Amino acid sequence: MSKKTKDKNWNYSPAPESSSSATIEKRYNLFINGKWVKPSNGKYFKTINPANESVLSEVAEANEKDVDIAVKAARKAYDKTWSKISAKERAKYIYRIARMIQERAREFAVIESMDGGKPIRESRDVDVPLAANHFFYYAGWADKLEYAFPMRKPKAYGVAGQIIPWNFPLLMAAWKIAPALATGNTVVLKPAETTPLTALKLAEIIQEAELPDGVVNIITGAGKTGAAIVNHPDIDKIAFTGSTNVGKIIQQAIAGTNKKATLELGGKAANIIFEDAPIDQAVEGIINGIYFNQGHVCCAGSRLFVQESVYDEVIRKLKWRMKSLIVGDPMDKNTDIGAINSSEQLKTIEKYIAIGKKDGNQIFQSECFLPKKGFWCKPTLFENVAQSDRIAQEEIFGPVLAVQTFRTVDEVIAKANNTPFGLSAGVWTDKGSKIFNVTSKMKAGVVWANTYNKFDPTSPFGGFKESGYGREGGLHGLSAYLKFD
Ligand code: NAP
Ligand code: MG
């Protein structure tokens, strides 16, 4: 045995992905009516790499006037071209976009990791392939809507305003744009302020795919730009993914109008480990559930419930596994946990860690080295958390796990459902009957059994309670963009 393998502190050699495949312009304008146009107020804002705080590009800030121009372009495209061409033709364009994402997958993955901070392994293996899959899946439905909804005469709404967050920038754009196009709607989409680059790259593809002008418009800006989309009188449907607070503002803003909405909001998922679970797999599931993508996942398994009889074993193995997680350069293929998306988000996470400590919970963090520049958070676990503690009730959106115990099935169902959210949950047990019993009583839109954070374009995703309403993905995702006679 070599000295290196005998040494328990051995490390992987760095394996950085090259950024040479990524072309990032110094400045991006707004993509409106098939062209790149300057913002009417002449303002631009910077987007940075959260792993080293370097400026990647500057991006146009769209105001109400630009939003109006984009909505007019989308309306005209809907009236004059997109609603006139056959569904089969629509499908061809969507297939083309899917193939072009695949062809440029490496570039997309690199830019996603640079702009957002997520490990390249995830953007390469999860975000980008799933984004292409969404386009493929919905391209297949475009000319089969009458079969999807027999006897119901589905019809597009018209212009969809779409607003997305920073945690899965390209994937969320795909979740929004693909079903909208397949159902015959046109689009005005706004990515998040901190992660606009892959949506703008997607605009390049849309232009190359020769999608008719104005069918997809991508405009950048901050919350105000999003609000201008929501409040524009000629938008027929709002598709929003983001925080519950902004979801509530949107709901108030569209009350009394004819606008339809789907809201995909926050979460506080319970990941439940029963004593008969395969413990080693469950530990991997816990790690994947909360530390994947730095915990920047709406459906993150941020509350862990462990049955008392296996508590010591689960926590011992979990801590041991946490110690082996590699935190650091998102571009390194070995990295498990990348950079926190922004200094603002890091402050929020640190605030909650301080609250967790103040409430007397027992904290464990792996002793990893954190780079000096950029925004970083150690994988964190809190034990002895009470049901009423803020870290067990509020969404943290970071790599922070709140652990509780339970004795009976009824107890854990009551505890798991006791939050304002209801987006997702996980159940780990050897017994199929227990899976059916628990999952049917869980007030959550998605419940994973003996796995976690698995996504597929064919399966619907969405929340209960303050996690929002409406579904994306699958047939449900199509009906969210259709009206029926
Ligand atoms: P956020 O603040 O609500 O922002 C989401 C998007 O809305 C961004 O593009 C944002 O622009 C924009 N926005 C901000 N204020 C607005 C307003 N008044 N009107 C219209 N748009 C507005 O959420 P976030 O903090 O970026 O994202 C994290 C949240 O998203 C978490 O709560 C997470 O759970 C949720 N999320 C949910 C799902 C799901 O499927 N349920 C998926 C992913 C994330 P700027 O970013 O430029 O300010
Ligand atoms: Mg950025």
Share of the chain above pLDDT 90, in %: 96
Same domain, 278 and 403: yes
Enumerate residues 6+ apart whose C-beta is below 8 A from 388. none
Query: Does 6 have pLDDT greater than 50?
Result: no
Residue 3 has a pLDDT of 42
Within 6 A (CB) of ligand 1 lie: 163-167, 190, 192-193, 222-223, 226-227, 230, 241-243, 246, 249-250, 264-267, 298, 395, 397, 423, 463, 467-468
DSSP conformation class of 17:
P
Instruction: Indicate whether 4 pLDDT > 90.
Output: no
Q: Give me the CATH number covering residue 437.
A: 3.40.309.10
Q: Could you tell me the residue range of the domain that residue 436 belongs to?
A: 270-449
Are residues 274 and 248 located together in one domain of the fold?
A: no
Establish if 16 belongs to a structural domain. Answer: no
Query: 320 and 193, same structural domain?
Result: no
For residues 216 and 305, state if they share a domain: no
Q: Looking at the CA of 161, name the nearest ligand.
A: 1
Given this model, what pLDDT does residue 485 score? Answer: 81
What is the 14 CA–ligand 2 centroid distance (Å)? Answer: 23
Instruction: Band the pLDDT of 8: cuts 50, 70, 90.
Output: low
Residue 49 Cα to ligand 2 midpoint, Å, equals 5
With respect to residue 455, please indicate whether it lies within any of the assigned structural domains.
no
Q: Is residue 454 part of a domain?
A: no
**Residue 119 located in a structural domain:** yes
Alpha carbon 318 to chain centroid distance? 25
User: 259 with 395, same domain?
Assistant: no
Q: Are residues 258 and 277 in the same domain?
A: no
Closest ligand by atom to 298 CA: 1
The 3 state secondary structure assigned to 215-227 is: CEEECCCCHHHHH
Q: How far is the CA of 267 from the centre of ligand 1 (A)?
A: 13
Question: Per residue in 204-221, pLDDT tens?
Answer: 999 999 999 999 999 999
Q: Which pLDDT score, from 0 to 100, does residue 358 have?
A: 97
Whether residue 89 is found in the same domain as residue 204:
yes
Structural domains in the chain (count): 2
Which pLDDT value is given to residue 289? 97
CATH classification at residue 246: 3.40.605.10
Residue 472 pLDDT more than 60? yes
Task: Flag whether pLDDT at 261 surpasses 60.
Answer: yes
DSSP codes, 215-261: SEEE----HHHHHHHHH-TT--EEEEES-HHHHHHHHHHHTTSS-EE
Give CA separation, 475 vs 163, 445, 480, in Å: 21, 15, 9
Q: Are residues 245 and 311 located together in one domain of the fold? A: no
Among the ranges given (13-22, 31-40, 84-93, 380-389), the one the predictor scored with the smallest mean pLDDT: 13-22
Helix (H, G, I), strand (E, B) or coil at 63: coil
Whether residue 5 has pLDDT greater than 50:
no
Q: Could you give the CA distance from residue 461 to residue 469 in angstroms, rounded to a whole number? A: 10
425 found inside a domain = yes
Lowest mean pLDDT among 14-23, 165-174, 435-444, 475-484: 14-23
pLDDT at 12: 84
Is 198 contained in some domain? yes
pLDDT of 21 over the 90 cut: no
419, part of any domain: yes
Write the pLDDT tens digit of every residue in 398-409.
999 999 999 999
Same domain, yes or no: 422 and 394: yes
For 101-156, what is each residue's pLDDT tens digit? Answer: 999 999 999 999 999 999 999 999 999 999 999 999 999 999 999 999 999 999 99
Mean of the per-residue pLDDT values for the chain? 96
Predicted local confidence at residue 39, as pLDDT: 98
The yes-or-no verdict on residue 9 having pLDDT over 90 is: no
Give, for ligand 1, the residue of 243, 250, 290 to mutate: max count of ligand atoms closer than 8 Å to Cβ.
Answer: 243
Residues 232 and 307 in one domain: no
Q: What pLDDT sits at residue 276?
A: 98
The answer on 382 and 283 residing in a single domain is yes
Do residues 422 and 443 touch, judged by C-beta distance below 8 A?
yes
In a domain, 202, yes or no: yes
Is 239 in the same domain as 318? no
